[in-house]
Amino acid sequence: MSRPIHREESASIGRNAINYIREAAQHGLYDIRGMGAKRAVPTFDDLVFLTASASRYPLEGYREKCESKTLLGTRYAKNPIELDIPITIAGMSFGALSANVKESLGRAATEMGTSTTTGDGGMTPEERDSSKTLVYQCLPSRYGFNPDDLRKADAIEMVLGQGAKPGGGGMLLGQKVSPRVAEMRTLPEGIDQRSACRHPDWTGPDDLKIKLDELREITDWRIPIYVKMGATRVRSDVKLAVQAGADVVVIDGMQGGTAATQQVFIEHTGIPTLAALRQAVEALEDMNVVGEVQLIISGGIRTGADVAKALALGADAVAIGQGVLVALGCNHHSYVQEGANIDATEDYTTLGTAPGYCHHCHTGRCPVGITTQDANLERRLTPDVGAKRLKNYLQVLDMEVTTLARACGKSNIHHLEREDVVALTIEAAAMAKVPLAGTDWIPGTLPSE
């Protein structure tokens, strides 16, 4: 006689926790992976716009222009950055990405009148040649960092951290340290690169100011300097960056992606982008530098609605990384070769994953040829295909932002304001400090505030 099988899954030690413990016990290694946090956190999806009706006057969507020009770096630089759209491409390295992908990013960004950004590994000729506006990152590793490329840059981004791993250094496993990557980074081929998490030539915010001044001296105060940070103690960090002389502050929330880091970093450090944005804006308001120091927010931005909500909450622009990769074909079941779609499912299976779930950027075995240095895999995404997809994606985002702005009665996307949005959840209302929909209640504030 068979006994009934009792299945009561533990909430505290569920299937994921059991798998994690078993893997740890079996291998003695922690998980390293790419992409961003997979856990559910409050996001821009938890906000909605209060578009026009009787009390607000909308603009005609099809014929009344809505301006989306975006100025960045107006504080000190002789040549601020002027973009056609408020959507920029986040820093991603050659090494993490293939040269074809870097070229795709530059071409699409140029077509859409926006900027792209180098990464931990220096500037490639492909990305400089293809990018009208290129932001040059200065990272703790200083791989490939040199004054010639610095002078070719349109802006500098001093990177103190990123949302996926605030407090951690870069990581590139040996399978992606190809001969070209190794030469650019002055590393032996095939080693597991370990990057410093601290800059070699300055420590602390007082020194940061002197460092930024040095970079300005070298570039004759011509180009703006951004300061990028992972979202942790945002209010204090933004104020310190402003005091150090940042022209633009970039805050990367916990949903921000990476090519490789420890999973414990990705899922358990930093605060959600939604919360980080509001804290950053308050810091700029406290210092009375709104409009003087611009704010770029990143980390999990996917849609035009996300962009519009970020602007409404006070960002001047957004930066997108993972969304850009998905637009190029990341996690797609197939890739295009000579006009034909080739199924890549088997390659996902080899990695132990499937289309839609892959985060194996760190392996260099990207089934669709994006996060790889393997010559055969890299051919799976040509710059022509990549640039077209990305341009389409950016175009859709821009159209969505202007659609929402017009519906709110704005002739300029930068006129979107906090008053235009409400929250659908108490958590989002508390983090974004906007009212819960249908109420005047902002959790955590007193009625008089």
Partner 1 sequence: MARALQLDLAKLSVREVNQFLHDELSASGADRIEILNPDGNHSIAAGLDADVVIDILGHAGYFTAGMNKRASVTIHGNAGWSVAENIMSGVVRVKGFASESAGASGHGGLVIIEGDASSRCGISMKGCDIVVGGSVGHFSAFMAQAGTLVVCGDAGPNLGDSIYEATIYVRGKIHSLGADAQEEELKGTDVEHISHLLAAAEIDGDAREFKRIASARKLYHWNAEAHQEY
Residues that bind partner 1 (CB under 8 A): 27-29, 141-142, 145-147, 150, 174, 185-188, 191-192, 194, 196, 200-202, 207, 210-211, 213-214, 217-221
Taking a C-beta distance cutoff of 8 angstroms, is the pair 86, 307 a contact? Answer: yes
Q: Minimum CB separation from partner 1 for residue 196, in Å?
A: 6
Q: Which is nearer to partner 1, 17 or 210 (CB)?
A: 210
Q: Which is nearer to partner 1, 260 or 370 (CB)?
A: 260
Rounded to whole angstroms, the Cα distance separating 311 from 370 reads 30
8-state DSSP, 174: G
**H-assigned helices in 219-317:** 234-243, 263-268, 273-286, 304-313
- Give the rounded distance of the alpha carbon of 159 from its chain centre: 13
Rounded to whole angstroms, the Cα distance separating 399 from 75 reads 29
Q: Which is nearer to partner 1, 181 or 381 (CB)?
A: 181
Q: Minimum CB separation from partner 1 for residue 44, in Å?
A: 36
Element (H, E) at 298: strand 294-298
Q: Minimum CB separation from partner 1 for residue 115, in Å?
A: 23
Q: Which is nearer to partner 1, 3 or 27 (CB)?
A: 27
Rounded to whole angstroms, the Cα distance separating 262 from 281 reads 30
Q: Minimum CB separation from partner 1 for residue 143, in Å?
A: 8
Q: Which is nearer to partner 1, 200 or 438 (CB)?
A: 200
Q: Which is nearer to partner 1, 191 or 354 (CB)?
A: 191
Q: Minimum CB separation from partner 1 for residue 220, in Å?
A: 6
Q: Minimum CB separation from partner 1 for residue 228, in Å?
A: 19
Neighbouring CB atoms inside 10 A of 336's CB total 19
Q: Which is nearer to partner 1, 52 or 150 (CB)?
A: 150
- Give the rounded distance of the alpha carbon of 346 from its chain centre: 29
Q: Which is nearer to partner 1, 41 or 361 (CB)?
A: 361
How would you classify the pairing of strands 47-49 and 70-72? Answer: unpaired
Residue closest to 135 by CA, chosen among 166, 105, 112: 105
Look at residue 447 and give its three-state secondary structure: coil
Residue closest to 92 by CA, chosen among 397, 328, 368: 328
Q: Minimum CB separation from partner 1 for residue 79, in Å?
A: 15
Q: Which is nearer to partner 1, 7 or 27 (CB)?
A: 27
Cα distances (angstroms) measured from residue 320 to each of 51, 214, 234: 25, 29, 19
DSSP secondary structure of 91-134: P--BTTB-HHHHHHHHHHHHHTT-EEE-BTTB--HHHHHH-SEE
Q: Minimum CB separation from partner 1 for residue 366, in Å?
A: 21
Rounded to whole angstroms, the Cα distance separating 200 from 21 reads 37
Residue closest to 322 by CA, chosen among 162, 140, 133: 162
Angle in degrees, 0-180, between the axes of helices 234-243 and 204-218, rounded to the nearest 10: 40
Q: Minimum CB separation from partner 1 for residue 200, in Å?
A: 4
Residue closest to 334 by CA, chosen among 360, 354, 363: 354
Q: Minimum CB separation from partner 1 for residue 243, in Å?
A: 16
Q: Which is nearer to partner 1, 31 or 67 (CB)?
A: 31
